[in-house]
Structure 1
Amino acid sequence: MKVVIPMMGMGRSGGERVLAKLANALVDKGEDVYIVAPESNCLPYYPLDSKIVILKSKVKRTRFKFLNFFFNMYYLLCKSRAVNADVAIANYHLTAYIVALLKSSVNKFYYIQAYEVNFSKRYTLKMLAFFSYLLPLKKIVNSKLLLPSYINNYIEVIPPGIDLDLFKSINKEIDTKKLKIGFIGRREPYKGSREIIDVLSKFYLNNRFDFSLNIAVYMDVNWMNKIESFNFYEIHNDEQLADFYRLNDIIIATGLIEDGAFHYPCAEAIASNCLVISNYAPLVNGESILSLKSFDKEELAKKIEQCFELSQSDIINELASNYQLVKDSSWSIVGDKFHKILLHM
């Protein structure tokens, strides 16, 4: 079976990571996988199996961004059509249009990992994202609550996988007298990093609790004016990310939109045996005492305070219960599920 995966680029975003992992899993199943990406952004950040073929589509550069967009989408479409694939997979609203325009004989899938209407302030871009969910593609979602009910006609729910050999626990005891709190800093406002800092700054001011703060990936210089001290960790690969999780007792994995959607830091921190505070899956799919229905500064503060009051038995029960939510999320299991859908849908 020939599988084509058109992409707008091959960087380090979560969506690109998922496609890289799925492509590797499909190759392991004996399928021929072709990734199509613009020649200006086709160097893989995440490791790909050597059997995966990367096809470079032409990139047009003129003075007019609007024209560049249509030219480059056209080149991406032509290169994707040249594969003569049996199956096509999109995971982004722009590539969904590419997949929709492939030959009718192609079995077309849209693996939706975010409701991208929320990601733009411009009305035209919101509509472009929204209409992608109306295209005649077979929708697979990473959470049953991801899309609005009136377009939530998915064929399957498949949360992304986790490398359970990498994101794993180490023997450590959580000392609630001085907790190590961490989160993944993000530039995008809807990720809610600034709001997390606002909450933690009040803990520094009231001086009731003893904790150290660790921030990874991104740090805004303005945060230094709000908090007394923290450690910053640049992350260049998954090994460093796994080390960061294990460094902490608590990971705050909250955001301002898409309550209940799958969230990588939430899942990976659970697998790494951290206490997790989150309004995302997989935590909200269980009975965690630290889950949030949606982001709220006061509620987040209460959950952090609660962590300082947990007994060792409470901690053990919380960690064990949470791990049940991710124990079957290895990429081999997820890849097998995805492969079966491609074969039989």
Structure 2
Amino acid sequence: MRILIPITNFGHGGGARVLSRLASAWTAAGHPTDFLVDARSPLPYFPTDAGIRRFDSNGLVDGPPPEGAAFASSGNALSIYRGMHRGLNAIGGSYDVILANHSLTAWPVRFASTGAARKFYYVQAYEPEMFQLDPGWKSAVLRHFSEWSYRLALTQIANSPIYVDHASIRARTWIPPGLDVSVFHRRSTMPSFRQDDSPVVIGTIGRSEATKGTIHVIEAFERLHAMNPRFRLRVAFGNLPEGWSHPGLEVVVPRGDDQLAAYYRSVDILAAPGTVQLGACHYPVLEAMASGTPVVTTGYLPASPENSWLVPVRDSEAVAKAILDVVATPEAVLARRLDLAHAAVQRFSWEQVSQDFLQQFAAAPAPR
């Protein structure tokens, strides 16, 4: 089958990464896949083997990018979605599957005339909740558009169980984001805390959004380092509070998945205490678990009390106590938890995830 993925631009976020990898996996499996993207968008940040077809505001597909034009979604929404709709009208009928993947792309996908193409909507987050975090009339409008998008006549697939029949979402099944298990492989030896004077390196992915919980990791680290200077903090990508520094801090900037996987294997404990949409998939949790690193989290898939250390949201003291518990865990018990974590991530391989999608695509009825 031929698959088309309409997007506004090639972004840097986890959702864009998922689409790039899925498109490559489907192409490799003999299902040619193309992105349909605004002509002004840069090349993919996450490499993909899929084809790239571009539209302009008039819907012209595969035309040259406008000279000197810089892409910015702000202020260009009307031209983007008008062009996407017209582009879908032009080429959508030559595909078997069209996959919307964001609340705003769902609208042109739903109302474009695309013949017998089956239309799907991959719900990667409950977007109204994210828009609700920002005040102002624009966010209010976007929140309503995203809420209404779940009522469109598209076959929905959620990316985690918490979004199945959640609020206005009508997904009846879920397929998680994937993981390259050959890159995010288990470390050769598990962390050891037997020597009381050896460093304990706490890792976290630095994010500026308050919902990601970086500040709670920082506060937990400050508490632990004050108790015992053996505790260190290694933050990937920075994004720390302005002006904050610490002698026990190290900032690293992994480039690409190979270096990111090496980062997870370089820390003794990974803390990911996000505050929203608990029970959803969260790449730092998934990747650290696959890498054989103990995880302290507020409860993101696939973490559980059996394979990780779960803490309440916005509770720096609980994060610190959980880290101390990891350090005090007997080696045999720690090894068992890490075994369970490794087993939990196996269903997230790209091979399995891409096949799950293909089965859903094949099973859906053709439009009437």
> TM-score, normalised on structure 2?
0.85
Contact 2:157 2:172 in 1 (8 A): yes
Say which is worse superposed, 242-251 or 29-38, in terms of deviation.
29-38
Q: For the residues of structure 2 that align with 1:281 and 1:101, how far apart are their CA atoms?
A: 35
Is 1:263 the counterpart of 2:282 in the alignment?
yes
Match of 2:124? Answer: 113
Is the partner of 2:83 in helix, strand or coil? helix
In 2 relative to 1, CA 275–28 (structure 1 residues): closer, same or farther, beyond 3 Å? Answer: same
Residues 235-274 of structure 1 mapped to structure 2, 5 A cutoff: 235-274=254-293
Is 1:232 the counterpart of 2:251 in the alignment?
yes
CA RMSD of aligned residues (A): 2.4
Which of the numbers 305, 320, 329 marks the counterpart of 1:301? 320
Is 1:139 the counterpart of 2:156 in the alignment?
yes
Residue ranges of structure 1 left out of the alignment (5+ in a row): none
Q: For the residues of structure 2 that align with 1:39 and 1:115, how far apart are their CA atoms?
A: 28
Q: Which amino acid aligns with 2:322?
A: K
Q: For the residues of structure 1 that align with 2:326 and 2:6, how far apart are their CA atoms?
A: 44
Q: Which amino acid aligns with 1:213?
A: L
Q: Which amino acid aligns with 1:257?
A: V
Give the C-alpha shift of residue 158 in structure 1.
0.8
Match of 2:239? Answer: 219
In 2 relative to 1, CA 47–66 (structure 1 residues): closer, same or farther, beyond 3 Å? Answer: closer
Identity of aligned pairs, percent? 28
Is the partner of 1:196 in helix, strand or coil? helix
Contact 2:39 2:55 in 1 (8 A): yes
Give the C-alpha shift of residue 289 in structure 1.
5.0
Match of 1:335? Answer: 354
> TM-score, normalised on structure 1?
0.91
Match of 1:41? Answer: 41
Q: For the residues of structure 2 that align with 1:21 and 1:257, how far apart are their CA atoms?
A: 25
Contact 1:90 1:96 in 2 (8 A): yes
How many residue pairs match? The answer is: 340
Contact 2:216 2:314 in 1 (8 A): no
Match of 1:175? Answer: 192
In 2 relative to 1, CA 128–342 (structure 1 residues): closer, same or farther, beyond 3 Å? Answer: same
- Note the alpha carbon deviations across 1:244-298, whole angstroms, 9 max, x for none: 1110111112211101100111111111000011224333356235023645333
In 2 relative to 1, CA 82–315 (structure 1 residues): closer, same or farther, beyond 3 Å? Answer: same
In 2 relative to 1, CA 136–280 (structure 1 residues): closer, same or farther, beyond 3 Å? Answer: farther
Give the C-alpha shift of residue 67 in structure 1.
6.3
Q: For the residues of structure 2 that align with 1:287 and 1:29, how far apart are their CA atoms?
A: 35
Q: For the residues of structure 1 that align with 2:302 and 2:349, how far apart are their CA atoms?
A: 16
Q: Which amino acid aligns with 1:192?
A: G
Q: For the residues of structure 1 that align with 2:86 and 2:310, how far apart are their CA atoms?
A: 46
